[in-house]
Structure 1
Amino acid sequence: MSDLAGVRARNATFWARAAPGWIRHADRQDEYGRPLGAVALDRLRPRPGERILDVGCGCGGTSAELAGAVGPAGTVVGLDLDASMVEAAAARFPGDRHPGLRFTAADIETAEAVQGAPFDAAYSRMALMLAADPVAACSAIRRALRPGGRLAATVFRDGAATPWMHAVLLGAAPHLGPLPPMPVGDEPGPFAFADPGRVTRVLTGAGFDAVGVEPYDVVLRAPGDPGAVAEWLIEIGPAGAAYREAAPERRAAARAGVIKLLARFREPPEPTGPPEPTGPAAGYRLPAGIWLVTAVAPAGTA
């Protein structure tokens, strides 16, 4: 990317506009989105008393889960690019109820140091592929770890492994006017780390040892009203800002478009007749293909 400063500025602008949707749906994202990071949490094996950095913490749900694992003797620092999401995280998980948990707003790519370093481990759920310069971001994470400190993160694989994401955009876009251009190639975006070879090159280029990239297939289960699910997925995606700025009738049309394209992910299928009063509640089963990324900071790392 030739204009790195420009890409970083666009990233910051995008997330500032996207943040209201993430804040509004923070509880839903914590619950339904947990499978996207569960394998990394399991592999990280946070222990009581450890110090852990959560990169791309969003509205703080992952940080709070990590804080529960390290206990009151441990420390978790949740870091995110967007200040409004960090403020929301601090409000959702205040220090008087979550000792040892702190949040900070910073760009991990350009931060000279991370408050609270050195850490025993670093965790990231679906954030590393969003960096304008992922080598710089991962280098900063490595520098924030103690020698031998471990990293466990998740990122999306290719778009074909997460088909509902395209369905949401295709269903909403015709009703919302111009949207930000979709990232291509190595540009920061959900599928920027689709190539496992690139993931390995980024981590080794950042100075990590013992880099591992493993495929996992997970499922997000979203129960409830189709309109609520459609709105959640629109608002946390690239169409979120345009959706919130649209007139009510356009928002309703966008939800209807998404509901139509998500029908194949609904289980059990919509009934053709009156619903059975004792039948199972319908919900969505959203498959996602992810990479589990693991690495270790080498001995002697400052």
Structure 2
Amino acid sequence: MAGVAESRARNADFWDRAAPGWIRHAERQDALGRPLGAAAIDRLRVGPGERVLDVGCGCGGTTAELAAAVGPTGVAVGVDLSEAMVAAARLRFPGPRFVTGDIETMGVVPGAPFDAAFSRMTMMLLADPVAGLTTIARSLHPGGRLAATVFRDAGAVPWLSAAVLGAAPHVGHLPPLPLGDEPGPFAFADPARITRVLTAAGFGDVLVEPEDVTLDTPDTPEAVAEWLIEVGPAGAAYRAAEAGARASARSGAARLLAPFRIPGAGYRLPTGLWLVTAELD
């Protein structure tokens, strides 16, 4: 398990470094990034009075949306590895409850049991996804339901590599690219792996469906480039760079993102997801 421990430590360090960018762009991420999780929220169909868990809540936007759906008689709890992002979530949204912790090692999420669990783009980032999903399973009522999204393969998310490759030559050292099943954006590209992981964690009725969405942005090339750089793997290096290097990084990313731009209208960023649903046996 030494490999998993090392991977968890890298994850914690990465998100400590990434948090300032996510906090800075929280409003933009909530608005422009909503399609990344909308299908899972729709499929989960939480209603008034239910108790719902948001795994990988970040700065709290999805938890707040779930809290609105369950209403004053329900409960929404967001959990995230980043203490800084959880602190930002508490400031932004005083209604839901937010918890800092590693879903892989916390055993049961405070506030359990829940009727439903939601996760937007987090399962693929876990060092030990079976452990993380086992915690989610322990935190649900019998028959509890799960809905989540993850990226498909790199070819289905072409803008992600464009933002990284455009910025990389102008900033400092970037984290190594994940390989195989290592935690990263495409660790769950294989739908068979998703089914194996959820089944091992105790879930049944696992369904993995392709979902194609588009992120629509304003026609603001520098702002869009900076957003995608800062919430991606180059974010920490970008923030540590000199002003001139940051400007060059934005220009480089904007240049590679140009195929997705409609001048005067904005960017249309095609994104291929897996919509994952399951129920607790």
| Partner Cα distance (2:28, 2:19) in 1 | 14
Matches within 5 A, 1:205-224: 205-224=200-219
Please name the residue that 2:277 is paired with: 294
Please name the residue that 2:154 is paired with: 159
Shift of 1:197: 0.4
Superposition CA RMSD, Å: 0.8
| Partner Cα distance (1:183, 1:219) in 2 | 25
Percentage of matched positions with identical amino acids: 68
Shift of 1:224: 3.5
Please name the residue that 1:51 is paired with: 51
Q: Which range is displaced more, 12-21 or 172-181?
A: 172-181
- Give yes or no for contact 2:46–2:69 (8 Å, CA) kept in 1: yes
Please name the residue that 2:25 is paired with: 25
CA deviation map 1:60-87 (0-9, x unaligned): 0000000000000000000000000000
| Partner Cα distance (1:113, 1:152) in 2 | 18
Amino acid at match of 1:225: T
Matches within 5 A, 1:132-171: 132-171=127-166
* Structure 1: segments with no counterpart, 5+ residues: 270-280
* Structure 2: segments with no counterpart, 5+ residues: none
| Partner Cα distance (1:222, 1:131) in 2 | 29
Is the aligned partner of 1:36 residue 2:36? yes
Between the two proteins, the alignment pairs up a number of residues equal to 281
If you compute each CA radius of gyration, which structure gives the higher value, 1 or 2? Answer: 1
Shift of 1:2: 5.0
| Partner Cα distance (2:65, 2:139) in 1 | 20
Q: Which secondary structure state, in structure 2, belongs to the residue aligned with residue 67 of structure 1? A: helix
- Select 2:122's aligned residue among 127, 146, 159: 127
Is the aligned partner of 1:259 residue 2:254? yes
CA deviation map 1:154-180 (0-9, x unaligned): 000000000000000110000012111
Q: Which secondary structure state, in structure 2, belongs to the residue aligned with residue 219 of structure 1? A: strand
Please name the residue that 1:283 is paired with: 266
Is the aligned partner of 1:175 residue 2:158? no
CA deviation map 1:217-246 (0-9, x unaligned): 100001141101100000000000000000
TM-score normalised by the chain length of structure 2: 0.99
| Partner Cα distance (1:2, 1:13) in 2 | 17
Shift of 1:282: 2.5
Superposition misfits of 4+ residues, deviation over 2 angstroms: none
